[in-house]
Amino acid sequence: MEIGGRSDGSRGTMSQINVTPLVDVMLVLLVIFMVTAPMMQQGVEVNLPKADTKAMEATEQTVVVSIDNSGRVFLNEAEVPADQLRTKLTAIFEKRAKKEIFLKADKSVPYGEVVKTMAVIKGAGIERLGMVTEPISKK
């Protein structure tokens, strides 16, 4: 007797679907996503200062302003001239109910530049500003 065939011996169409190939493909996709998910970080690579603070919760629509060690300003991953930052932030947040943003600044950036950027962010109407830092390692 053949698998999936009729018991009376007549040849007909098979009424069962073989799901084994589908399961194999789904498992391969699962492994691929598990490997690539940790590699997908948002923003520009900066050398963050260390701080011992409580972490803020991030949402899906988080906007990150980054300042790299040469003083360039980035909005998420796109470089933005410092004089256009307020305009762009105002345009992004004019329709949003939750006005929060994260600021990543390289630890070698002068404090005055970070404060100027914070003032521009606050001037754009952002209500909550979170500073991104690395945790202090406990020895």
Question: Could you tell me where the beta strands, DSSP code E, fall in 15-113?
Answer: 50-51, 64-67, 73-75, 78-80, 100-105
Block means of pLDDT (10 residues each) for the chain, 139 residues, are 56 78 91 77 61 57 85 87 88 83 88 89 86 73
Answer yes or no: is 95 within a domain.
yes
pLDDT of residue 57: 57
Answer yes or no: is 102 within a domain.
yes
Answer yes or no: is 34 within a domain.
no
Answer yes or no: is 38 within a domain.
no
Answer yes or no: is 68 within a domain.
yes
pLDDT of residue 52: 67
Answer yes or no: is 41 within a domain.
no
Answer yes or no: is 4 within a domain.
no
Answer yes or no: is 117 within a domain.
yes
Query: CA-CA distance, 124 to 139, in Å (whole number)?
Result: 41
Query: CA-CA distance, 98 to 123, in Å (whole number)?
Result: 16
pLDDT of residue 1: 47
- Which range marks the domain in which residue 108 is found? 50-135
CB 86 within 8 A of CB 77: no
Helix, strand, coil abundance in the chain, percent, nearest 5:
30, 15, 50
- CATH number of domain containing 113: 3.30.420.270
pLDDT of residue 44: 58
pLDDT of residue 53: 62
The structural domain count of the chain equals 1
pTM beyond 0.75, yes or no: no
Residue 62's Cβ-count burial label (10 Å; 0-12, 13-18, 19+) is: middle
CB 104 within 8 A of CB 65: yes
